[in-house]
A = this chain, B = another copy of it.
């Protein structure tokens, strides 16, 4: 199945910790890739973002889905 989520990063699981109902899974990403972020136009203007700028993609852990072949 092909899915609409734009960002897929392959790597190796390095650590798994489990709690009551949740689990934390760490993945060492092996190849850097391209990330697509959707933000408000207002943010692009207020941060003065331009092509060529250095930037950081910031993602909360609860927003990451794990896939396994």
| A interface residues (Cβ-Cβ under 8 A, vs B) | 1-44, 46-69
A15-B56 CB under 8 A given contacts A39-B23, A61-B6 = no
Report how far A31 CA is from B54 CA in the complex, Å. Answer: 13
| Interface secondary structure of A, over-half rule | strand
How many copies of the shown chain assemble into the complex? Answer: 6
CB distance from A60 to the nearest CB of B (A): 5
- Nearest CB in chain B to that of A36: its residue: B61
CB distance from A3 to the nearest CB of B (A): 4
The answer to whether A5 and B35 touch across the interface, beta carbons within 8 angstroms, is: no
- Nearest CB in chain B to that of A18: its residue: B41
Report how far A49 CA is from B18 CA in the complex, Å. Answer: 12
